[in-house]
A and B are shown apart, each in its own frame.
With several copies, the nearest count.
Chain A
Amino acid sequence: MSLRETIKSAFESMMFVWGEPLDSKVAADIFNIDRKEAYELFKELQMEYETQNRGIRIREIDKAFQFCTWEGNDEYIRKLCTPVKEKRLSQSAMEVLAIIAYKQPVTKAEIESIRGIKCDRVIEGLIKKDLIEEVGRSTGIGRPILYGTTKTFLKNFGFKNLNDLPRMEDISDVIRESEEGEAADPLQITLEIPNK
C-alpha cells in the first residue's frame, strides 16, 4: 500500500470507531500531515463510497467526516430494526369482521342492527388493518356504503376464497374440533355483556 492508501485506510478505521464526526485536523495530526491534505484524502474516500454505490457513505459536517448509511436504504433499515408486536383482534372487532364476512356486502346500519350497538370505530379499525374495505354503495336511501372483506383477510385466515369460510351450520363443529385438540374447558367461555 502506498502512504496515501495507508492513511486513507487508517482514516476509515478511525471514522468507524469514532462514530461522531471526525475532525480532519485531529485525523491529520495523527499522521503529522496538514489539515488540507487530510481533508482531501477524506474527500477522496467520500467519492469512492459514492461512485461504488456503497450502502455506507461518508458525510461532511464542518470539515469533519462521519460514516453513515445511504439514505436510499432507510426502508430496509426500518424493516430490520422495527420490532414486531403480536396483536389480537378485540372481541367486538372479531364479531364485526365475522358479520361482514358472512353477510357481505353489508352496510354499517345492518351490522349495527344485528349487534344492537354502534360500530363506527370498530369498522374504522378493521379498514385500517386492511381486513375490510368499501366494496360499493347500496341502492337504498342515502346510498350507504357497503362493506366486504379484503384479500388480506383471506390471506391472514388462510382462506383461498370466500367459499372457504366454514359454513354457519358447521361452526360448532369447527369449534368442537379445536377444543378437543386443545382440551379447552367449554364452561370457561364467558359472556361479555356491554356495560351500558
Chain B
Amino acid sequence: MVYKVKLDVFEGPFDLLVYLIENAEMSIYDIQVAEITKQYIEYVERMKRIDANLAGEFMVLAATLIEIKSKMLLPRRVSEDDQELMEDPRSELVQKLLEYKQYKLVAAFLEEQEERMQRIHTKPQEDLSVYTNEPDIYLNLDLVAFVKAFKLFLERKKTLEEVRERYRIIERQRMTIEDRIEQIKHLFIKKKRLKFGEILGGERTRQNVVLTFLSMLELMRQKAVKVRQHVNFGEIVITVNEKEMAAKEGNNR
C-alpha cells in the first residue's frame, strides 16, 4: 500500500524524476544519469503492476533517459571543426526539468491563493424578482419600419377601397334562394328538361353558381324536380315534376 500511494502521487514523469533527483540529493545541473535512470525504471516497473496505462506515459521519459545515458558513455569528443565541445547530452532534459519545477512552484502559489480565498466570503445576490418580473419595455423604433408601415398602410388603404367597392356591388346584387327559385320556375314553363348550364345562364360568378345550385337542391328536396348526373363532373340534367311544381305553386300562393 505504501508503494501504491507513493507511485500514484506523481503528477507525471517529470514530477517523478524531480523527486528522485532531489531525494538522491543530486544537483539538477549535474544529474548522475546512470543512477537516476536505474531508479526511474524501477519505479515505472512497479507502477506497471498497478496501472499499466499510467506507466505507459512514464515510459517515454525512461527511453529518453536511456538515450542520454548511452550518449554519456561516449567519450566527449571535440566536434569536427575542432572548435567547440559537443553539447552536454543532459542539457535539454535539465531545461525541461527546470521549467517544470518553475510551474510546480506556480501551482503551489495558486494553491495558497486558493486557500486564502477560502477565507473571504461574499454574499448571494438579493432576490431580484420584484424587478425582473416587470421588465422595462424598451421601444425599438426605426425609421424604415415606420416608413414601411406608412407605405403599407397607403397600399392597404387602396386595397381596402377596392374591396369596399366590390362589396357594394355584391350587396346590390344579393338575391335570396327564394328569388332564384322563382326565376328557375319561370324557365321550366317553357321547357320540361334543362341542363344546369342552361339554368345558370350567362352570369357565371361564383355567387350565382352557388345560389343556383342551392336553389336546385331546394327544389329537389321539395320533389319539384328530378336531378340526374350520369358521370362525375358531367352535365347535370334537371327534369321538372310538373304536378309537384304546380302544387308548390298553389301552396305558395
Contacts and interface: CB of A to CB of B under 8 A. Distances in A.
Interface string B42-79: 00000000010010010011000000000000000000
A17 B127 CA distance: 8
A66 B126 CA distance: 13
Nearest to A83: B135
B119 A71 contact: yes
A77 B125 CA distance: 12
A81 B9 CA distance: 34
Interface in A1-37: 13, 16-20
Contacts of B109: 98, 166, 171, 174-175
Interface string A89-126: 10110110111011000000000011111100000000
B57 A117 contact: yes
Contacts of B117: 156-158
A114 B14 CA distance: 9
A114 B99 contact: yes
B132 A83 contact: yes
Interface residues of B, number: 70
Interface residues of A, number: 59
A150 to B, nearest CB: 12
A138 interface: no
Interface in B125-154: 125-126, 128, 131-132, 134-153
Contact of A101 (B96, B110, B120, B136): B110
Contacts of B157: 114-116
A191 B106 contact: no
A85 to B, nearest CB: 4
A88 B125 contact: no
B143 A166 contact: yes
Interface of A: 13, 16-20, 59, 66-71, 74, 77-78, 81-89, 91-92, 94-95, 97-99, 101-102, 113-118, 129, 131, 156-159, 166, 168, 171-172, 174-175, 178, 189, 191-194, 196
9 residue pairs, one from A and one from B, having the closest CB atoms: A117-B12, A19-B125, A94-B149, A98-B150, A74-B119, A98-B106, A81-B131, A85-B135, A94-B107
